Every structure is written in C-alpha cells, then in structure tokens.
Structure 1
Amino acid sequence: MEVLDEKANGAIHMETEEFVSVRDHEAFAAKHMPDLGHDVKDFKVFSWHLSNWKKLDKKLTGPEFECGGHKWRILLFPFGNSNAPPNDTVSVYLDYADPKRAPEGWHACAQFALVISNPHDPTIYTVSHAHHRFIAEECDWGFTRFSELRKLFSVQEGHSRPTIEDEAAEVSVFVRVLEDPTGVLWHNFVNYDSKKETGYVGLKNQGATCYMNSLLQSLFCTRYFRKAVYQIPTEDDHPTESVPLALQRVFYHLQTSDQPVGTTELTKSFGWKSLDAFLQHDVQEFNRVLQDKLEIKMKGTKAEGAIAKLFVGKMKSYISCVNVDYESSRIEEFNDIQLNVKGMKNLYESFKDYVSVETLDGENKYMAEGYGLQDAKKGIIFQSFPPVLHLQLKRFEYDMQRDTMVKINDRHEFPYEIDLDEFLEDTADRSSPWVYKLHGVLVHSGDLHGGHYFALIKPDRETRWLKFDDDRVTPVTDREVMEENYGGEPLNGLVSPVQRNQVRSMKRFTNAYMLVYVRESAIDEVLAPFKEEDTPPHLKRRLDEERLQLEAKRKEREEQHLYLTAKVITDDTFAHHEGFDLAQFDERAWPTSDLPTFRVLKNETYQTFKSRVAQHFNYPENQIRLWVLVNRQNKTVRPDTHIPENEPALTVEVIRNNMAVRQQNDLRLYLDVIPDPNKPDISPGSIMIFLKHFDTTRQTLYGVGKVYVPRGSKVGDLALLINERMRWTPGTPLKLFEEIKPGMIELMKPKLTFTQSEIQDGDIICFQVDMNEKEIHDLDNQGLYSNPAQFYDFLQNRVMIVFRPKSEEPDHESPEFSLILSKKQNYDVMSAKVGEFLKHDPIKLRFTTTHPTNGQAKTVLKRSLNPSISEIVAPFVRQYPNYCHLVRETRC
C-alpha cells in the first residue's frame, strides 16, 4: 500500500472553479489527467455507488473491471488507512485485481484519477491523479490521505451540497493503460538485469571519469574498432601500465560479464595521477589521447592503420582569388568535426556554417604571391568523410561578456540520416553515396560545473536504441533519442502545458554534445557481428583464469563463517621480531610480522590440525606443543596455557572459544619445540619465560628464545642460563628488565624469586650486558640508547616516513626513500635528517602532507611552527599507526 502526497501526484481538491461533470468522461480526463507523452493502449472509467457510508466496513474492494487486458478494482478505506485518528481521512487506491494469476514478471503502466463525487450532482467531487508501474510487489497504488472525511460530509465554498450527501457517494476511477514499448516505463530498477533485458552490461561509475563511460560504450559498439583493439599484441603488458591491454580487458568484460564492469585499470593506465585529470580534458581530447596511445602500439601489427581507416577524413582549407588564377590550399586530416550550435537550427545548418565562404575584399584583401592584393574567397571544403564520423557539438564556449565558459543549451536538431554529398569538393569519390546513419548520441545533463553523462546507441542496423547510463543499460524510444536531446524548449504542441512545466528545467539542460554517424555503405563492415575467434586467445585465457580466482575468493568469503585463521609464532619468527610482545598482530602497523598462517575448519579436530602444523614445520608430532596466546588486560598478547593432548573430540573452535577470546577472529598460537620427547616433560612448578637481548652496540632488540625455570628460583639465576645460551664468558654482568607493557619496562631485582616478581608463563624478560658510567655517557653523547627502557620508548614512538619527490620535479638522482624517526622529534630534526640523506641544505627543503588513502598532496608544513613528528603523522594514525607519506621538494 503506497502513500502519495498532494505535491508529488497532483492536487487533491474540491472542484470549485470549472463545473466539469464526472460523467463527461473525455472532458473530465482531459482536465484532470495530463498528457504524459505516451501512447494510450486503453481507457476505461468505472463508477461504484455506495450508501450508508458511516456503516461501511473498514476496508472495501469494488467490483472488477477490465482495461488494457488487465483486471482492476477500487480499494477503499472509508475511515482511513493510516496512523491518523479514526474517521479522520478517506483512503482510496487503484488495485490490480488478481496479481497471483498474472504471468511471472508481469507489469502494467497505468495513469489514473480517483474520484469521490455527489451521486446527484456529478460536478461536485474530490479528485486526485497519479501514474504507476503496477508489478507483483506494488500491485496497488493511490492515496492514503485522499481527503479529510469531514470535508466530504460538509458543504464546501461554491457549492450547495456536500460530496457525500445522505451518506451516499459515487467512487470512480479513470484509467489509462499506456503502451510500454521499451518495457522499462516507470521502472524502479530493483533487481533489474541489464544483460538479460538488452544483452549488454554497463560500466561502473568510478567518480570523476564523467564522459569516459559514454565514449567507451560507443567505441565498444563500434565493432570494427573493437576487433582492431584486440589485434594489438599485449601478452607481456601490465593492465595498469598499458592502455591497449586495459581497454582490451574492459571490452572483454563487457562482452562476457553479467555485472557492470570497472574501469579503474584503464584510468590508471593513462598515467593521469588523479581522477581530477579527467575533468581537465573534454571528450574530444580524451578520445584523441586514447587513439594516439593505441596507434603507437598498433604500428607493425595487423591492426596498423585501423584507426585512420575508421575515423580519419580529409578537408581542404583554401583561399581562392576571384580575378586571377591563384589558389592557396592546405590538406588536413581530421578525426572529428567541431560544429557550432549557437544560432544553428539543426545539423544541416551547422555543416553549412562550417563550409561557409568568407569574402576577402576591401581593406581585407588577400596578398597573392606574384599578384599582389586580390579579392578572394576563403573557406573549407571536405575531400572525404570517414566511415565513422564523430561530430562534436560546441555546447561549451567562452562568453566574453561574462569572462567565463558557459554551456549552450539552445535547441539543435539532428536527423537519423544525413546526406553530406554537398559538402564535398567536386573531385571527391562518389562511387558510393555519402549518406550517414545515426549510430550514437552522447548526452550531457547539467551545467558547466557538473552534471551527468550517458550514451544512446543503436548497436546494429536493425536493433533498437539502448541507453547506456553508467552501470545500467535500458531500451529507449525514438523520442528519447531525438526530441529529448535537442536541447532548448520542446516545440509547441509536442507536450501539454502541464507537462511542459514539469519537464522544462530538465529539457533546458539535457542535450547532445557528441554525435556518431556511420556511413550507410560501411555499416555492414563497421558493425559486423562479433565472432568468438575475434577475441585473442591469450586475453581470454588470462581473464578466464582471473575470473576463476575471483570465483574462488567469492566462495571463500561465503564459506568464511565455517573457518577461522590460526597464526603460529615460532622461535624463528620471535628471533626476527623487533618490538613489543612476541610478534606484531596489528596488520596496519609497521613493521608487520610475517607469521605462518593456517585456514582451519572450525570443526576440525585438534589432532588433525596439529598434524598439519607438524608437517608444515617438518617436526615429528610428538616433538611439538602448541600454546594458546591470549589478550591480557594490559593489552599485551602472551602464551597462557598449552593445549591438552589427550582429548580426541577437541575441535579448533572449542579451543578458540574456551582457551582464547571468543571475540577474536583468529587463533594465535606459539609452537613450543620439545628437544627430547623421551625425557620427562616440564617439571611441576616450572614457568616458560621468553628472553630478549638488547644489544647496545648494534642498537637492536631481538628474541633469543625461551627457557623453563622453577617459580621459586631467583631472578638472578637467569644470568647463568643467559651467559651459557649467548656463549658469553661465565659471570658476565647482566641487567634484567621485565617487559610489562608498552611504556612500562621495569628493572628487575635479582634477589627476588620469580613468584615474588609476579612472573608467569609467557612473560618476557629483556637483558643487556651491564655497562659502566663512561660507556653509558659515550652512548648518550652519540644520541644512542643505553638501556632497554629507552629503546622500548623509541620503539613505541618510532614511525617510518616515506618521502617522495614532488611529481612535476625531475628528481631522478633522489627518488622515493624512507627514514625511521621518533614521534617525539620535530620538524627541524626531520628536515636535518632528510638534508643529510639528500646531501642538501635542510633550510631549502619543503614538505607537504598527503591524503592517507589516495596519496594526493594536501597541506604544506610550516617550518616556523616546528611541529612535532607526532603532529605531522596524526592524520595517518587511525589507518596506519606508525607509517606515513610526505611529499618533498627542493629549492636551489
């Protein structure tokens, strides 16, 4: 049940001005049902007499009647069908009588007027009109607030009787079932399938690419061009670097896909740094750049010369003297013709204007070599037109008075067929007529500063016209191709005054800006049917493989709920990790840990999974033990307990839910390798501790493995195990630090036990060789770190900044590079470090921030403010916690 309001669907009113009778069907329909510009298939009026209104049921359905091959009825709620107070309104609808018996996919386009009138005086009524595409999901349409009930029962101004008199009234419906030649009239396009309905698919709207989709569809439907593009060798090309390959891929997907096709690869292949670059070119420039890039790759191949054969014609610019036998002329090739719109009624007049002759006389005489100043005729004449003729209509031009570019929205008509013979010079080849058929209309709707682009194309000689509107392709009528894209105001008599008011603003700004004509004698060659063998085998093979990969990924996504991811930390990954915890699990952070990862069915048993892990790392099953890592309250990730071995029914999901954290998407594990499975297991009361070595000389911090120690032993006892593992001289003095969490690295007391120090399974202890005061002082003077606490602070604040040269700056000797800095440092330090790397004066460097996602330059950093690195990288923190890009430029 749909609610229509007064503004959107015609006024709901008590008639007071003109006393048109409801029973005068033709006059009533003419007054209240505006001409919508569509052919009427059938027109019927049905009236339903009702009495005892106040005793009527809450919902009534009227008798069925037929119109346009469909059964209809009135659906009435005498006391309203809304949240309004009871007895406040009347609701009335036109209802499709039996949608369940209608064939699958049925629809009916109807314009209708619903009327409640006085049974004795049919000039007293309340009426509202609407139009709708009736479908199974929307089989009734009308007005929930058709009228206030009290108004229907009371006498209104200008009348002597109420609409409902003595509790009696007539409820009528006027129905026009309209022809729908395209099958999409008033379609809501929910679940619309372009491929099924038209055989074609659209192109995704990628943002500012505007006119590109329209031109690509036009070129795709020019099948000779598509075949020529396919003949370009691209086996070794990369799609984002090769325009021919990117275009081949777009064309192949348009041929084979059931879904709209993306163009990102193609836009990248142009080398234009941003989509804004497309706004700086018009469709003519874009087409020229595209064809130039294709022609370069076509040289020396079967496709060489195809573009010139298809799109290139010749014209002669001349100056011919009137009184002496002298002419100066120049022959030029053209790929398209730019025609004036302003002041021109139609395309024929635009061509006449293009070849119009200018007389050079008086003070404007022509200096003819050998003859002096002479009266002359100056003009352009065509020698030949190409098989496919691109006509650019000059809808955009410079307005000198306003000192700005403006759009010309004047009416400019173009025909389905045009004979260009009279615009050719006398010596032109006329063995075939120069008659051209309209093949495509590229349309812009909007003004100079924005709008929408779409294309209307007739793919074959006999097929219907199609509208390519980004990701949707629909059939259209001849009127939608021609009249609706001439621009300006509709001609008198073509639409009703009511309709003219409704569409005036749209008509004013929607018009053709490019026309594509095909020479009639060349249509069969230019639009020849496309064959399977016209597609290059390597392209088909390559894209079919990609499609299978995408299908596999889609299936993987669909089945993702059945799986979880298990990440395994090993002693080797720990040894290569420089940072907090045992590994870096935040994939946004830098540097990331490359952890062995397994995709595991949730219902897979632990024993099966353990066998896979053992096989992957080439260990016997009885030589490994897996520990579950958990997120502690202090936001660290540490091993908590090892997985029990003797529970055959234990599944991976149960382990994740019971031993880890249910909210985690993955299962994090530590692989504990048992040196000798035949020796006794871990002694009771032992704890597993991970060790990290802070090397003051190398300024590094890496894992060196794990040890098992009794809980009651002293912290200082670790020194013996560490010296032995590091192969240091026995008795080498050490300092031990507990890695509690980022920002909390505490020196340990060697005389306390591990229990007293609150050390448990999975804790991390960092050690360094103890230094004297002079050694510490020397490191401090070099700006180096003398203890793990300082180094951990650096790790917590470090950020990798990538510096790239300004794009327009030829900076081949110093390309993109990166430096690791601390967020606690500032602009001056950063500038000095970059200057040192580039061997350039840091005062003569300037830095610009970039957008976190697209990399475009944003804001120049001010040296005078000397911001901290933390402030500089702040925009990146959410997406990349310790990683960012800056643009640099140098000055001499």
Structure 2
Amino acid sequence: MEASLDQKAFAAKHLPDLGYDIKDFRVYTWRLTNWMKLEKKITSPDFDCGGHKWRILLFPFGNSTSGPSGDTVSVYLDHAEPMESPEDWHAHAQFALVISNIRDHTTYAVWNSDHRFTAEQCDWGFTRFGQLHKLFNIQEGDSRPIIEEESADITVYVRVLEDSASVLRNEEKCPFLTARVVTDDTFARHEGFDLATLGEKKWPQSDLPTFCVPKQETYGTFKSRVAVHFKLPNNIVRLWVLVRRVNETVRLDTPIPENDPSLTVEAVRDMANMMRRGDLRLYFDVIMGPSRSYPPPGHIIVFLKHFDTSKQTLLGVGKVFVLCNSKVQDLHPIINERMKWTPGVPLRLYEEVKPGMITLMEPESTFAESEIQDGDIICFQVEQAEEELRDFETQGLYSNPVHFYGFLQNRVMIIFRPKLEEPDDNPEFGLVLSKKHKYDTMAQRAGEYLRHDPIKLRFTTTDAASAVPRGSVLKRSLNQSIADFMDSSYATTTVLLYEKLAVSTV
C-alpha cells in the first residue's frame, strides 16, 4: 500500500484538506487471520490520537443494518472509552479506513470520512465497506485478492482536528445562510463527479442558482421564493436535501417535508449537516403530472449520465424513477427513449460509487441487489466493438467511463509561460491534463497549441508558491509522468516555463 512507503502522501491523497488545523495524526494497523471464523462483532486494541483512545470496530459479515445476505463488511472508527467520557465530550476526527492484502499493500480498498464524535455518537464509518466475495476474489487490475488465505490488514489513518466549536459559534452570529440549488439544467452542464462540484477545493465550484436566506425564514416562504425565481407554480416544485455521504459523495437524501409550517431554513440545513454549518445544498425537482404519492411507492430516484465516446464528454441527462426490484437492464429502453435513439441500441451501465470507484453493473441484477438507493448516479455508454474501442485508446482517448472518470480525478491544470520575453508568438496558455500523462503526451499537446515540433520544446519547472524558475529543466523520459514533477501528490495546478528551440531535445 502507498502508506507503507509514505504515510503522509497516502493521507494527503485520501484525506482532503477540510480547512482545519490538524491537532494530531496517527496511523494504526490491525492484522486479522482466519476471517471466516471471526466473531460477528470484534474490536481492535486501543490506540491514542489527539489525547483520545480509539479502536477499529469490525463486523466481518456486516452489521444488522447492512442487509441479511452476510456478503458485506462493515467497518467503523470507534471512540474506545465512551462510558468514561464526560457527557459533553467531543472530538472532530477525519479518517480513512483501509483493508489491504498482507503481502501486497498496493492491493487495497479505502473509504474516508470526517465526523464530530460525541459520547452519544461515538462510532462512525461504513456499513457497506465492500462486498465480501469481491474482497476474497482477485479483481480486475490486481494480481491477488484483498483478503488472501482469510487474512488481511485493516489500517486506519486518523487526523484529530482542532475543535470546530469556535467556527460554529462564529457562524451562529450570522443571521443568514447560503442556499445553493442544483437543477436539471445545471446537471446537464456538469462534467465531473456527483450532481455538481460542491465543496471541492481543488476545482472551481459549479455555477448554481444561489440564494441568501434568513436562517429563521420558514421553509414554505423560502420555497415560494425559489418557485417565483424559476417562474413555476409553487405546487409543482419539490426541493430535496443534498448530503455528503460517508463515502465523500454528495447525493440526494430526502424531499423536504411540507407539512410543518414552522419549519425554518436553518432547521432544514441542520437536518442535512450534523456539523450545523456551511451552505444549504438542494436539488430543485419539478413534478410533472398529477401524483398522489411522490416518489411513487417502491420506486427510487436515479440520475443518469451519458459518456459519449466520440465526443469524450460526460454529461447529465436527467433523472428517472425505477422500481427497486426491477432489473438494471430495464433501464435500457428508458435511456433509448430519453436519448431519442433507435429502440434496441445496446448499452453498458456503470455505477458512480465514489471518486476512484466506477463499477460495471450486472444487467440481470436488480437495483436492490446492486445496492442502488435514492440519489445514486448511473452512467451509460453505447456498446461498441472492441476494435473500435482500441482505436480510441490508440489515439490517446478514453474508451469507457471508468478511464474517463480516472482522468477527471487526476486532472491538473498546467500553465505554460514563455521563459524568455520575446516575440508575440510565445503566448501564455493553459492545458487540462492528467497526472498520469507521460512527458511525451504533455509535450505533444503543448506543441499542438504552439504549432511547434514537440521534441523542440524545453520545459523548466517553477516554485509552486512564486512560479519563479527553480532552474530544473525537465529531461525527456518515457516513464516520467506529470505527477513526478508536481510539487505534491494533491496539487492541481502548476506552472512550467517553455522555450522554442531550433534543435531537438532528444
């Protein structure tokens, strides 16, 4: 696992900066053997971090809320001394839980979250960390299973953050909050993970309709203002709360109840956000046609994205209601009709599980068996011959949503500036590339922009803070990737100085 080589780099990759000072950081590993003989609920030895005792809480075959199948693993970070703690005890912790192969630590599964632990709510984690049969079997791209010979390491990365209570007190003084609204139109323009970019510090936030709302304004009054803004009758508008799930996705949670006239906007925000701070995030839904029950009984709301292989785009195409017990392949005719394609166009469907995890869906499985719930996102592409897909890959393009999502997750902005202040034909420009792109790909793209032979371009790295030359000329290497000369594993922008040469750098 990357952590065995550089724990700080692993933490930087899997624990995003939340804007708080870090009080303490600890990595703890717990080795398990004879998995199938483990008790239904077990805990690791205690360890210290930030002046508190913690432990890993494991349900090897899932806990009571994960479903009856026993084919899942539930893992949590647990405060080890809840009974000995004072009633007002709390600790804000950010953490990543990792299950890895004991012999090959590059084979692992990881989930991350943050939580304000209290004496009453002393554990937090992942009820469906992963399906057990997948952890026991070799997955595509790996050489061995995560749990091999019934053994695995469970590692927790914990950052105890400085108390957020002071942030909360400052916000309580402000009588307004900001409501940001995702609509079907903004979803159709969004290219990235989730329904919109919300709270991601690495990339600009999505341009969404935004409202400054008095915290004590009733929800009914606020909803009426929103309906007027969009020029729609109030009775066909329904607003859903968006929440950040424990797997770091931002998804639909529940429609806001409309039967309580005293419900305030602040109360709606607090229902969606346990930390009781930050923006109120909403999805603007329009109910078309008469409906006594919304959503219909037994149905869930699913959002669709289309990966267009030829255009290399990934864009939202709206939502659908599906029966929980219907099959995944039942979406095919619905999608064909939505896209106005000829009936019977073959499709491949993928679930957008979390950043870094996009999985191909089994057509014969039901949505319930696939663990699809309200607000989940399914991506589709037209099925094409393997030869056609290989042609895309030969051109340096992405042949499926898994690879394209990988590009989105690893994309960086490279700013190219002329090293020498010379003629006007040396502009400054930016290119969005992937950290995984090799030197030759970067040089090729820059050469295309400048209309200059890429092997006659020379690049010099710069200091991240000041963008002044560091004096390090990049040497062409077949194996060097953009990540190798970025200042850190989580940086998303860097500046390179370029020179147009008359001779080849090769």
TM-score for both structures, normalised by structure 1:
0.36
Match of 1:884 among 494, 500, 503: 494
Q: Percent of aligned pairs with the same residue? A: 58
1:818 paired to 2:424? no
Structure 1 match to 2:372: 759
Q: Which amino acid aligns with 1:829?
A: T
* Cα distance, 1:695 vs structure 2: 0.6
1:618 paired to 2:228? no
1:684 paired to 2:294? no
1:635 paired to 2:248? yes
Structure 2 match to 1:750: 363
Partner Cα distance (1:693, 1:841) in 2: 36
Give per-residue Cα distances to partners, 1:287-311, cap 9 Å, x unaligned.
xxxxxxxxxxxxxxxxxxxxxxxxx
Match of 1:805 among 418, 421, 424: 418
CA 1:586 to 1:680, structure 2 compared with 1: closer, same or farther past 3 Å? closer
Asked if 1 retains the 8 angstrom alpha-carbon contact of 2:215 and 2:265, the reply is: yes
1:597 paired to 2:210? yes
Give per-residue Cα distances to partners, 1:580-628, cap 9 Å, x unaligned.
1111124543354111111222111111111121122222111111111
Structure 1 match to 2:406: 793
Asked if 2 retains the 8 angstrom alpha-carbon contact of 1:694 and 1:766, the reply is: yes
* Cα distance, 1:797 vs structure 2: 1.2
Asked if 2 retains the 8 angstrom alpha-carbon contact of 1:736 and 1:748, the reply is: yes
1:835 paired to 2:444? no
Structure 2 match to 1:774: 387
Q: Which amino acid aligns with 2:189?
A: H
* Cα distance, 1:845 vs structure 2: 2.4
Partner Cα distance (2:291, 2:301) in 1: 20
Asked if 2 retains the 8 angstrom alpha-carbon contact of 1:590 and 1:883, the reply is: no
Partner Cα distance (1:586, 1:883) in 2: 18
Q: Which amino acid aligns with 2:236?
A: Q
Q: Which amino acid aligns with 1:789?
A: V
CA 1:728 to 1:602, structure 2 compared with 1: closer, same or farther past 3 Å? same
Q: Which amino acid aligns with 1:833?
A: R
CA 1:816 to 1:757, structure 2 compared with 1: closer, same or farther past 3 Å? same
TM-score for both structures, normalised by structure 2:
0.62
Give per-residue Cα distances to partners, 1:17-45, cap 9 Å, x unaligned.
xxxxxxxxxxxxxxxxxxxxxxxxxxxxx
Partner Cα distance (1:835, 1:731) in 2: 43
Give per-residue Cα distances to partners, 1:92-134, cap 9 Å, x unaligned.
xxxxxxxxxxxxxxxxxxxxxxxxxxxxxxxxxxxxxxxxxxx
Asked if 2 retains the 8 angstrom alpha-carbon contact of 1:563 and 1:600, the reply is: yes
1:873 paired to 2:486? yes
Q: Which amino acid aligns with 2:338?
A: R
Asked if 2 retains the 8 angstrom alpha-carbon contact of 1:846 and 1:860, the reply is: no
Give per-residue Cα distances to partners, 1:377-432, cap 9 Å, x unaligned.
xxxxxxxxxxxxxxxxxxxxxxxxxxxxxxxxxxxxxxxxxxxxxxxxxxxxxxxx
Where in structure 2 are the equivalents of 1:187-586 lying within 5 Å?
Answer: 561-586=174-199
Structure 1 match to 2:340: 727
* Cα distance, 1:647 vs structure 2: 0.7
Give per-residue Cα distances to partners, 1:774-814, cap 9 Å, x unaligned.
222222222222211111111111212121213x4223123
* Cα distance, 1:847 vs structure 2: 2.2
Asked if 2 retains the 8 angstrom alpha-carbon contact of 1:809 and 1:889, the reply is: no
* Cα distance, 1:887 vs structure 2: 2.2
Structure 2 match to 1:656: 269
* Cα distance, 1:663 vs structure 2: 4.7
Partner Cα distance (2:264, 2:471) in 1: 53
CA 1:788 to 1:872, structure 2 compared with 1: closer, same or farther past 3 Å? same
* Cα distance, 1:889 vs structure 2: 2.4
Structure 1 match to 2:457: 845
* Cα distance, 1:729 vs structure 2: 0.8
CA 1:653 to 1:680, structure 2 compared with 1: closer, same or farther past 3 Å? closer
Partner Cα distance (1:842, 1:663) in 2: 52
* Cα distance, 1:579 vs structure 2: 0.9
* Cα distance, 1:830 vs structure 2: 1.5
Partner Cα distance (1:861, 1:608) in 2: 61
Match of 1:670 among 283, 289, 292: 283
Asked if 1 retains the 8 angstrom alpha-carbon contact of 2:392 and 2:399, the reply is: yes
Give per-residue Cα distances to partners, 1:25-76, cap 9 Å, x unaligned.
xxxxxxxxxxxxxxxxxxxxxxxxxxxxxxxxxxxxxxxxxxxxxxxxxxxx
Bigger relative contact order (CA 8 A; separation at least 6): 2
CA 1:636 to 1:561, structure 2 compared with 1: closer, same or farther past 3 Å? same
CA 1:603 to 1:858, structure 2 compared with 1: closer, same or farther past 3 Å? farther
CA 1:809 to 1:628, structure 2 compared with 1: closer, same or farther past 3 Å? same
Whichever structure has more strand as a proportion of its residues is 2
Whichever structure has more helix as a proportion of its residues is 1
Asked if 2 retains the 8 angstrom alpha-carbon contact of 1:567 and 1:595, the reply is: yes
Q: Which amino acid aligns with 2:225?
A: R
CA 1:769 to 1:864, structure 2 compared with 1: closer, same or farther past 3 Å? closer
Q: Which amino acid aligns with 1:619?
A: L
Asked if 1 retains the 8 angstrom alpha-carbon contact of 2:464 and 2:487, the reply is: no
Give per-residue Cα distances to partners, 1:162-185, cap 9 Å, x unaligned.
xxxxxxxxxxxxxxxxxxxxxxxx
SS in 2 for 1:561: coil
Asked if 2 retains the 8 angstrom alpha-carbon contact of 1:734 and 1:770, the reply is: yes
Q: Which amino acid aligns with 1:802?
A: I
Give the gaps of 5 or more residues in structure 2.
1-169
Q: CA RMSD in A?
A: 2.2
* Cα distance, 1:566 vs structure 2: 1.2
CA 1:591 to 1:603, structure 2 compared with 1: closer, same or farther past 3 Å? closer
Q: Which amino acid aligns with 1:790?
A: H
SS in 2 for 1:610: helix
Match of 1:856 among 462, 468, 475: 468
Match of 1:644 among 253, 257, 261: 257
Partner Cα distance (1:831, 1:782) in 2: 15
* Cα distance, 1:693 vs structure 2: 0.4
* Cα distance, 1:864 vs structure 2: 5.2
Partner Cα distance (1:558, 1:648) in 2: 25
* Cα distance, 1:883 vs structure 2: 2.8
Aligned residues: 332
Partner Cα distance (2:359, 2:433) in 1: 24
Where in structure 2 are the equivalents of 1:69-84 lying within 5 Å?
Answer: none
SS in 2 for 1:863: coil
Deviates more, 1:787-796 or 1:655-664: 655-664
SS in 2 for 1:630: strand
Structure 1 match to 2:59: none
* Cα distance, 1:886 vs structure 2: 2.2
Give per-residue Cα distances to partners, 1:792-850, cap 9 Å, x unaligned.
111111212121213x4223123111222110123233123212321223343232333
* Cα distance, 1:640 vs structure 2: 0.7
SS in 2 for 1:579: coil
Partner Cα distance (1:655, 1:637) in 2: 16
Asked if 2 retains the 8 angstrom alpha-carbon contact of 1:847 and 1:889, the reply is: yes
SS in 2 for 1:615: helix
Partner Cα distance (1:799, 1:695) in 2: 22
Structure 2 match to 1:526: none
CA 1:684 to 1:849, structure 2 compared with 1: closer, same or farther past 3 Å? same
CA 1:864 to 1:715, structure 2 compared with 1: closer, same or farther past 3 Å? closer
CA 1:677 to 1:616, structure 2 compared with 1: closer, same or farther past 3 Å? farther
Partner Cα distance (1:778, 1:824) in 2: 20
Give the gaps of 5 or more residues in structure 1.
1-556
* Cα distance, 1:854 vs structure 2: 4.2
Q: Which amino acid aligns with 1:842?
A: P
Partner Cα distance (1:589, 1:618) in 2: 34
CA 1:587 to 1:852, structure 2 compared with 1: closer, same or farther past 3 Å? farther
Give per-residue Cα distances to partners, 1:656-713, cap 9 Å, x unaligned.
1123332541111111111125665321111000000011111111000000111111
CA 1:856 to 1:642, structure 2 compared with 1: closer, same or farther past 3 Å? same
SS in 2 for 1:580: coil
Partner Cα distance (1:601, 1:855) in 2: 42
